[in-house]
């Protein structure tokens, strides 16, 4: 569910090309590592990389949104929706990090 929600929100956040390609590449590559963590349930490395990637994308998303947020005159409804979904994804990431950390602990992480 974490992967699906963040995939959908990232896709909607990239709809208007307001955020640079690095936003999409960073988020989708972390989601690919998340798929690896789902497939290999016994791998502690996969879940550690997924958690680390989620934590790093929190920082990079803040930087991307703050730098590329347009002025009020250039905001259409579609751009507002796209940026709103990117911000919503950013707000959900700490919850996702907590849930992934719990999975990490269940797999035997310290």
Q: Is the confidence at residue 22, as pLDDT, over 80?
A: yes
pLDDT recorded at residue 75 = 78
Per-residue model confidence (pLDDT) at position 110? 72
Task: Report the predicted TM-score, pTM, of the whole model to 2 decimal places.
Answer: 0.80
Residues 6+ apart with CB under 8 A from 48: 104, 109
Instruction: Render pLDDT for 26-68 as a digit per residue (tens, 0 to 9).
Output: 999 999 999 998 898 888 888 889 999 999 999 999 998 888 8
51, HSE (Cβ side, Cα atoms, 13 Å): 16
Per-residue confidence (pLDDT) for residue 53, from 0 to 100: 93
Percent share of the chain, pLDDT over 70: 100
Q: Where are the domains of the chain?
A: 1-107
């Amino acid at each position: 569910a974490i992967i699906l929600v963040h995939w959908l929100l990232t896709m909607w956040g990239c709809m208007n090309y307001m955020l640079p390609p690095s936003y999409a590449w960073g988020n989708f590559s972390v989601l690919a590592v998340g798929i690896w963590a789902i497939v290999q349930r016994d791998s502690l490395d996969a879940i550690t990389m997924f958690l680390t990637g989620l934590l790093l994308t929190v920082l990079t998303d803040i930087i991307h949104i703050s730098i590329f947020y347009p002025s009020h005159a250039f905001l259409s409804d579609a751009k507002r929706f796209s940026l709103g979904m990117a911000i919503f994804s950013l707000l959900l990431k700490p919850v996702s990090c907590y849930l992934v950390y719990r999975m990490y602990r269940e797999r035997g992480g310290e």
